């Protein structure tokens, strides 16, 4: 079941440039989705026939280092508890187990050392790619994933192959690229999504719920005009400029050293 594809974990720890301190935008979106999530949870609580002996198992896929994952999990648990209380089932409030999943190179130490102290749930780490099986059959009631499934399992091979019509000329994204490049990314996305959904279809219990939050482009908006894509294009240009400057410096130094010897 191990790791598949490439892994680029978020900046670890809790320093100035860490993911923990630079992910407010993502948290705001998780917050904005909470009403829809709450409504979906109300429906599944009825279907799952909760009793005090039930343990509700929730997984957050691509959890990173927090605190967003804790915030999202607390919201889900609160919605379930509220529903039980509203039905006069205070004594029926179940136990919760939360599985925190990310790539093995994720900073799980930081994640677990900043777990909320209230001990509302039993927690466990599940390292590995969500593009493969991570959990036993029918074992999860709720799967949550925010800002993670837009990460492909790998850069499509064709876009880095100079001999391919889909070669992306060193760019990191496809906003201003040829159709062949867009098609290569699109094919990789379709393959990854199929693997993601096949794995979850086996892992989620009957009547369970999957909550996926990820950036998307509205129909009719061209790739080149979608704000996220424009940002990635600008970032790509800066990286290419930096790489070019580094190359020039290496050439200058090597000429200097040759002149010296």
Ligand X SMILES: C[S@@+](CC[C@H](N)C(=O)[O-])C[C@H]1O[C@@H](n2cnc3c(N)ncnc32)[C@H](O)[C@@H]1O
Binding site for ligand X (CB under 6 A): 9-10, 23, 26, 62-64, 68-69, 101-103, 106, 129-131, 146-148, 151, 153
Three-state secondary-structure class, residue 111: helix
Minimum gap (Å) between residue 8 Cβ and ligand X = 7
Minimum gap (Å) between residue 131 Cβ and ligand X = 5
Pick between residue 9 and residue 125 the one whose CB is nearest to ligand X: 9
Minimum gap (Å) between residue 69 Cβ and ligand X = 6
Residue 71's Cα: distance from chain center in Å? 15
Minimum gap (Å) between residue 220 Cβ and ligand X = 27
Minimum gap (Å) between residue 138 Cβ and ligand X = 21
Sequence-separated (6 or more) residues with CB below 8 Å from residue 99? 57, 58, 59, 60, 123, 124, 125, 126, 135, 140
> Which residue's C-beta sits nearest to ligand X?
62
Beta strands in the chain (DSSP E): 55-61, 95-102, 122-127, 140-146, 204-213
Q: How far is CA 12 from CA 18, 97, 151, 154, 206, in A?
A: 6, 24, 18, 21, 36
Paired tokens of 202: 């086996």
């Amino acid at each position: 079941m191990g790791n598949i594809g490439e892994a680029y974990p978020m900046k670890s720890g809790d320093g100035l440039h860490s993911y923990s301190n630079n992910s407010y935008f993502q948290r705001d979106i998780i917050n904005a989705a909470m009403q829809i999530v709450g409504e979906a949870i109300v429906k599944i609580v009825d279907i799952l026939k909760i009793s005090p002996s039930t343990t509700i198992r929730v997984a957050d896929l691509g959890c990173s280092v927090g605190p967003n994952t804790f915030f999202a999990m607390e919201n889900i648990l609160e919605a379930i508890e509220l529903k039980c209380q509203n039905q006069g089932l205070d004594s029926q409030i179940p136990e919760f187990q939360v599985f925190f999943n990310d790539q093995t190179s994720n900073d799980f130490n930081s994640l677990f050392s900043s777990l909320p102290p209230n001990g509302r749930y039993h927690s466990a780490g599940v390292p590995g790619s969500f593009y493969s099986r991570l959990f036993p059959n029918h074992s999860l009631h709720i799967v949550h994933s925010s800002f993670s499934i837009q990460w492909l399992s790998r850069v499509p091979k064709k876009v880095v192959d100079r001999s391919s019509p889909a070669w992306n000329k060193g760019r990191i994204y496809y906003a201003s690229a040829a159709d062949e490049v867009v098609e290569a990314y699109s094919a990789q996305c379709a393959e990854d999504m199929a693997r993601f959904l096949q794995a979850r279809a086996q892992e989620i219990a009957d009547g369970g719920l999957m909550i996926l939050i990820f950036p998307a482009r509205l129909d009719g908006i061209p790739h080149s005009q979608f704000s996220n894509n424009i940002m990635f294009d600008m970032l790509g240009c800066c990286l290419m400029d930096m790489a070019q400057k580094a190359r020039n410096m290496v050439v200058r130094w090597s000429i200097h050293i040759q002149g010296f010897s």
